[in-house]
Structure 1
């Protein structure tokens, strides 16, 4: 499968590992890691999000977990070939049983969100067969530092249930970004950020395309340090 080339790194891809997608690019571009020194990514896939965050924060160190051995091996290749390789590590690990005394300043994830079904396509990466929202929230609340930020991207329709479960685990919503696929459409995704410390909620909207197959100016600006866009006349 063809590699995905970014400005400062390259993502090797595989038919057996969830590929580079807009959700990952958005989270890698928007997650708040300004003050993070120790970052955990849950479910690395190709390693895209950690690589983007490593480019954005040159002082942070990253640990990625994935339950899929093929994803772990692919991520390792992508980490090792990047200019940030000395700050990136990934391991084959089930997040539910991850045992560490460390606390993380940032936990990021593009989690599986479809209910379990008969489909085998990207089953572990897309369906909640290995990690559901409640398990993800509970474990993240244990591993987050006092001033840390837990960031994720999920379908808009899952937002209310997720926020309720987070509240039950003493996580406060501090940032909410409503993602629209195209101008004038319904919300497609939510980027949510939580903290163990209550803060004023920051809420905003982000539009990916201004018309079909035409990225919006905010998207072009957001991703200009990552994407290699073709010149447009």
Structure 2
């Protein structure tokens, strides 16, 4: 499988690991990492999100964990071959039993969101067989630093339930980005950021394409430091 080339790093891919996709790119480019020094990514896959965040914040240190050994090996390769390797660590871990004394300024995840089914395609990465929303949220709430942020990208259909589970775990919604595929279409994804402290909610809209297969000016501007766009 061909590697995915970005301006400052390259992502090797594998048929056994969830590939580079728009959701991961958006989360890596839009997540608030300004004040983070310790970052945890839950479910690294290829390592894409941590690598994008490492490019955006040269002072942050990262720990990525994944339950899939193939993903961990692939992430390790991509981390080691990036210019940010000294700030990136990676571990084979089940988040449900993950133990650490550290608190994190940012916990970021592109979590599995499909209900368990008979489909074997990217089962661990896509289906809630190993990690469901309640497990992800409750564990994250215990690992956040006082001013930390918990950031995810999920389908709009499950957004309400996700926000409610966060409330039950004393995580308050502080930022919401409605993501549309094309300007006049329905919202398809949400980027949600939560904090242990209630704040005024920041809301915005993001449009990926201005017409089919034509990126919007908003997307081009957001990803100009990452994507290598053809002429």
Taking structure 2 as the reference length, the TM-score comes to 1.00
1:2-45 Cα offsets, whole Å, 9 max, x none, are 00000000000000000000000000000001000000000000
Indicate the residue corresponding to 2:126 in structure 1.
126
Q: How does 1:80-95 map to 2 (within 5 A)?
A: 80-95=80-95
Match status 1:113 vs 2:113: yes
Taking structure 1 as the reference length, the TM-score comes to 0.99
Match status 1:210 vs 2:210: yes
* Distance across 2 between alignment mates of 1:24 and 1:199: 26
Indicate the residue corresponding to 1:195 in structure 2.
195
Indicate the residue corresponding to 1:143 in structure 2.
143
For this pair of structures, how many residues does the alignment match?
231
* Distance across 2 between alignment mates of 1:196 and 1:25: 26
Structure 2 SS opposite 1:159: helix
* Distance across 2 between alignment mates of 1:208 and 1:198: 30
Structure 1 gaps of 5+ residues are none
Structure 1 SS opposite 2:40: strand
Indicate the residue corresponding to 1:66 in structure 2.
66
Structure 2 SS opposite 1:86: helix
* Distance across 2 between alignment mates of 1:100 and 1:86: 20
- Superposition deviation, residue 183 in structure 1: 1.1
Structure 2 SS opposite 1:136: helix
1:84-121 Cα offsets, whole Å, 9 max, x none, are 00000000000000001100000000000000000000
Q: How does 1:3-82 map to 2 (within 5 A)?
A: 3-82=3-82
Aligned structure 1 segments of 4 or more residues deviating by more than 6 angstroms: none
Indicate the residue corresponding to 2:96 in structure 1.
96
Structure 1 SS opposite 2:45: coil
Structure 2 SS opposite 1:44: coil
Indicate the residue corresponding to 1:186 in structure 2.
186
Q: What RMSD in Å do the two structures reach over aligned CA positions?
A: 0.3
